[in-house]
Structure 1
Amino acid sequence: MNATRTLRRPRVLIVGCGDVGTRCVQQLRQLQHLQHSTRVFALTSHAGRCAELRAAGAIPLVGDLDVRRSLARIAGLAPTVLHLAPPPKTGDVDTRTRALLATLAARRVRGARAHLASHTPHTPIGRQRFLRAAWAPRMTAQTHIVPDRPLPARRLRVTPRIVYASTSGVYGDCGGALIDETRAVAPENARAKRRVSAERQLRRAAVRGAISACIARIPGIYAANRLPLARLEKHTPALVDADDVYTNHIHADDLATILLRMTTHGRPSRVIHASDDSTLKMGEYFDRVADSYGLPRAPRVSRAEAEQQLEPMMLSFMRESRRLSNARLKRELKVRLRYPDVDDFLRSMREQRSRQSGR
């Protein structure tokens, strides 16, 4: 009886369980008041992180999306998958998403073949009819650990649900325009092109009926441990206002909430802007952080001067300006952000430091 209950517990697989993935695990642990607690599996390519993931409440699995044979253990493991892994660092194609989708599909094929072997009629005509019905485009198989009887036919129709963490960089430069999710993608660098590649692979797999997928396009992520303090301490320059670009933000905890909400309320093949209400230019964001932490503001330079002083990676973010509408996030997912904008977070941090200094 206990083993049966364990197998029936909801299961979530997090692929690429870094900072945001760990926050997802922690939020799932806070839902233990539910009748069946969720079993969370976390795929990591670094064996040294296993103890950290266990401490967070996840069951670690070591596997590398660049080495497909190492992914066998995640095949069919969970009906819900948070795909948070970044694409490879080179090329225009996300081969990691391709490997993940192939692994999930391979498990369904093996499970379906086993089911067919035990259920196919022996007459030639009956066998052909059975095969045509069984191999319908939307047929999938849910994996059981040590099944004690043949899998019911209705279980074959369970489709893996994937939530993919993409980037708002897929839009390229929008000239500071306010855009929604219907805006056509126009990636301008290799990183964004690989993200578009991943999105298209997921959409094609969803059209085939192999998966159900929804996509979160994510802007700059911040948190107490993800602020540009080191940059400010180094006096790295920002652009003058006339040359500056609009950026978008989301707190890491709010992002985890959004991703988990999408696993239950995200519409199939739907894109959501995982962005807060902030409307800031990049230099303004740096100034707000500097003022909040008592640091000197970043010096301002022209775009021409920045081209000579800054690294290519940093410059690439200074070439794209856009403002993300999050109306769909609020309307469809009904998410209430803990930090509606950057100022709310910085204010809470100041209050926290004030309380700590008064002890």
Structure 2
Amino acid sequence: MKLNNKHIFKRPRLLIIGCGDVGMRLLPLVRARFRVFAVTSNPERRAALRAAGAVPVVADLDRKDSLHRLAGLARHVVHLAPPQPEGTRDCRTRNLTAILPDGAQVVYVSTSGVYGDCGGALVDETRTVAPKNARARRRVDAETVLRAWGRRAHGRVSILRAPGIYGHDRLPLERLRAGTPALEAGDDVYTNHIHADDLARLVALALVRALPGRVYHASDDTRMKMGEYFDAVADAVGLPRPPRLPRAQLAQAVSPATLSFMSESRQLANHRIKRELGARLRYPSVEATLRSLPGVAA
């Protein structure tokens, strides 16, 4: 898409940090309202971002010296970039807040992993965070840093806590083909989901309707355990269901990272996105989405 609209320079500027899959789904939803700048650390992605309607900006959150071009560029920011893969502090978010203009709006996509294991309980956004691994601690750090920046710089920070992101082209097919086991029913955990398209829509709604300082669960209506999810995907695409193992045996068969995802159980209440953001999910449940996938090839 060529940005040749004569009013383009009058639109408010939006900066998307971490414009990967969800960011690319977001672009068509916001490019009529904003002049969009998309950050990439890979110069080879500039053409794709430009074709999708964004002005590409090459910068790297791991390199402070590359961020000067972002300073003051936009007063609306969508932060989709994950933390760096080690440590308990999110250095990338810390680097970002150093160049954000006072009074800016930031929508940050975090993770429901910040709650840790809730024993399968239904939790809302008032639940105290209790991260159990370094990955989730980095996300809590990012949220804390952004809130502190908001108080200091009179910024408007809204946080979307997303669970497992899936989509028509984001299904665990390789896991199923590999026969990776799942937990047996007695040990299984509740898992939560959001379709990537709906997550992009929730980000777009948050830019317009989110309250400053507010946390929202970016989750669908599904109430499903993890093994049931794998079974449902397998049935939908014609692959064998994964074998089920008790937790003690499964711990010997999967990586520690995979096991950590299978050690936390919670159900996310999503009333707030409907009541405050006016969200109407296009894909309200995994089951309904999978029923629409008869053509998915295994």
TM-score (norm 2): 0.95
Residue ranges of structure 1 left out of the alignment (5+ in a row): 106-139, 141-158
In the alignment, does 2:40 pair up with 1:44?
yes
* Number of equivalenced pairs: 294
Structure 1 SS opposite 2:187: coil
Among 8, 20, 32, the alignment partner of 2:10 is: 8
CA contact (8 A) 1:68 1:103 kept: no
Give runs of ≥4 in structure 1 deviating > 6 Å. Answer: none
> Aligned partners of 1:26, 1:5: CA distance in 2, in Å?
17
Distance 1:104 1:206 in 2: 10
Instruction: Give the superposition deviation at 1:7.
Output: 3.3
Residue 202 of structure 1 corresponds to 146
Deviates more, 1:183-192 or 1:204-213: 204-213
* SS of 2:252 mapped into structure 1: helix
- Once the two structures are TM-superposed, the CA of residue 19 in structure 1 deviates from its matched residue by 0.2
Matched, 1:25 2:27: yes
Which residue does the alignment assign to 2:233? 289
* Pair 1:238 & 2:240 matched: no
Partner in structure 2 of residue 214 of structure 1: 158
Shift of 1:5: 4.6
Separation (CA, whole Å) in 2 of partners of 1:6 and 1:267? 27
- Aligned partner of 1:74 in structure 2 is 70
Partner residue in 1 for 2:124: 180
Q: How does 1:224-235 map to 2 (within 5 A)?
A: 224-235=168-179
Give percent identity, aligned residues only. Answer: 57
Kept in 2: contact 1:246–1:322 (CA 8 A): yes
Per-residue CA deviation, residues 9-63 of structure 1 (Å, 9 max, x unaligned), is: 122110000000000012224xx4xxxx521110011111111111221111000
Matches within 5 A, 1:1-359: 5-29=7-31, 32=32, 37-105=33-101, 140=102, 159-350=103-294, 353=295
Q: Which has the higher contact order (CA 8 A, sep 6+)?
A: 2
Matched letter for residue 100 of structure 1: L
Instruction: Give the letter for the 1:279 counterpart.
Output: R
Letter in 1 for 2:22: V
Cα offset for 1:286? 0.4
Q: Tell me which amino acid in the other structure corresponds to 1:328.
A: R
